[in-house]
Amino acid sequence: MKLTTLSVLLAIAAAHASKINPLHIKRQATSSTATSATVAASSASSSSSTSAASSSTTGTSTGTATGSTTAVAVPASATWGTSFPPLSQISSGMPSEVTQPVTTTYSPGTSPTYFSGADPLPTAFVFNVADWPAQDKLPDTSSSEVQEWMKELDGWDIPDLSPTVDGTCVSDPTNVANASARGWWTCGGYTRDTDITVCPGKPMTWGTSFDDGPAFYTTKLLHFLNEQNIKATFFDVGSRCIENPAVLIDEYMSGHEIAVHTWSHPHLTTLTTAQIVAELGWTRKAIKTILGVTPTTMRPPYGDIDDRVRAISLAMGMVPIIWTRTPAGVSFDTFDWEIPGGVVTSEASFTQFEAILGNASTLDDGFIVLEHDLYEQTVDMAIGYTLPAALSHNPPFTLEPIGQCNGIPYTNMYVESNLNTSFPIANGTSDGGIDTDGDGTGDAKSKNGTSSATSSSNGAPPRHVSYSIFAAITLATLAAVVGAL
Catalytic residues: 211, 372
d(CA 385, CA 391): 10
3-state secondary structure of 440: coil
Please, what sign has the CA dihedral across residues 21, 298, 404, 453?
Answer: positive
d(CA 67, CA 92): 17
Cα Rg of the chain, angstroms? 21
Please, what sign has the CA dihedral across residues 77, 351, 259, 237?
Answer: negative
d(CA 199, CA 399): 11
d(CA 456, CA 287): 25
Contact 403, 413 (CB under 8 A): yes
d(CA 423, CA 222): 29
Burial class (CB in 10 A: 0-12, 13-18, 19+), 191: middle
SS (H, E, C) 59-127: CCCCCCCCCCCCCCCCCCCCCCCCCCCCHHHCCCCCCCCCCCCCCCCCCCCCCCCCCCCCCCCCCCCCC
Residues forming a β-bridge with 234: 210, 258
Q: Which of 374, 172, 176 is nearest to 261 (CA)?
A: 374
3-state secondary structure of 235: strand
Residues forming a β-bridge with 198: 367
**In angstroms, how far is CA 346 from the centroid of its own chain?**
21
Helices (H), 134-201: 144-150, 173-177, 179-182
Q: Quick count: other Cβ atoms within 10 Å of Cβ 76?
A: 11
Helices (H), 111-244: 144-150, 173-177, 179-182, 218-228, 238-243
Q: β-strand 257-260 against 233-236: which pairing, if any? A: parallel
Burial class (CB in 10 A: 0-12, 13-18, 19+), 246: middle
d(CA 392, CA 384): 12
* Phi (first) and psi of residue 409, to 5 degrees: -65, 155
Q: β-strand 366-368 against 198-199: which pairing, if any? A: antiparallel
